[in-house]
Amino acid sequence: MNLEDSLFQQLVSWFHNRNEKVIVALSGGVDSAVVAMAAKKALDKNAIAVTADYNTLSSEEL
């Protein structure tokens, strides 16, 4: 397992060990996307990602 996979699995475990419902703020960047993916993998329906339209992104980017 490479470093990235190991760190991702640690993040998944972090969410899984808390066993709570979470909302992840999704900015559109890689960091928040990885956190959202880890939360979804660990918590399934108890994790959602949200983003806000500040009229700075095109509809394709949202």
pLDDT tens sequence across 12-61: 999 999 989 999 999 888 999 999 999 999 999 999 999 887 777 676 76
Q: How far apart are CA 10 and CA 58, in angstroms?
A: 34
pLDDT at 2 over 90: yes
**Is residue 58 a part of any domain in this protein?**
no
Structure letter (DSSP) for residue 55: S
- Is residue 9 assigned to a domain? yes
CB count in 10 Å sphere of residue 43: 18
pTM: 0.80
pLDDT on residue 17: 95
Report yes or no on 17 lying in a domain.
Answer: yes
- Count up the domains in the chain and report the number: 1
Domain span at 17: 3-50
pLDDT at residue 61, as a whole number: 67
Tokens of 45: 């329906």
pLDDT value at residue 39: 97
d(CA 57, CA 29) in angstroms, rounded, equals 12
